[in-house]
Copies of this chain bind each other. A is one copy, B any other.
């Protein structure tokens, strides 16, 4: 994520271009993986000198609202965030070992909305689809390998 790209995204969202927002985006963009709010905070604090954790939460919420950042679901009741400037409708493949995220273009859910409408008259407005697994690199490291989240 180039700084100019970050500026453009913020201008498009009618958000002020501030060093904190740019730095949150730069930090997330540097990873191909998802991070928690606190992890983002720890990485950008040294760069910015000082930033409050609530500010990080606010920025991530704004970006998630605007769908520049995707929320990742895990069962530890912590929210994780992944910068994904791809605005086409798509989904994500999440590595359970190293947290890497890959885009998945295929989305065969169009038929589902029709089925629901036909069967009970319901209306589909959105869906959550997250594909979990082990990425190619972690697979190749084999059973002996240990990912970022391994015990």
A interface, CB within 8 angstroms of B: 71, 73, 75, 77, 79, 93, 95-96, 102, 104, 106, 108-109, 111-113, 115-116, 119-137, 139-140
Contact B133 A124 (CB under 8 A): yes
Cβ of A95: which chain B residues have Cβ within 8 Å of it? Answer: 122
Determine which residue in A109, A122, A128 has the highest number of CB atoms from chain B within 10 A of its CB, and name it.
A122
16 of the cross-chain contacts (CB-CB < 8 Å) are A77-B77, A93-B112, A102-B116, A104-B112, A104-B116, A108-B108, A109-B131, A120-B135, A121-B135, A121-B137, A121-B139, A122-B134, A122-B139, A125-B133, A127-B129, A128-B129
Cβ of A123: which chain B residues have Cβ within 8 Å of it? Answer: 133-134, 139
Q: A122-B139, A125-B132, A133-B124 are in contact. Are A104 and B115 (CB under 8 A)?
A: yes
Contact B104 A121 (CB under 8 A): no
What's the Cα separation between A79 and B76 when bound, in Å?
A: 11
Contact A127 B121 (CB under 8 A): no
Cβ of A96: which chain B residues have Cβ within 8 Å of it? Answer: 125
Cβ of A106: which chain B residues have Cβ within 8 Å of it? Answer: 111-112, 115
What's the Cα separation between A102 and B73 when bound, in Å?
A: 22
Contact B128 A116 (CB under 8 A): no
What's the Cα separation between A140 and B128 when bound, in Å?
A: 25
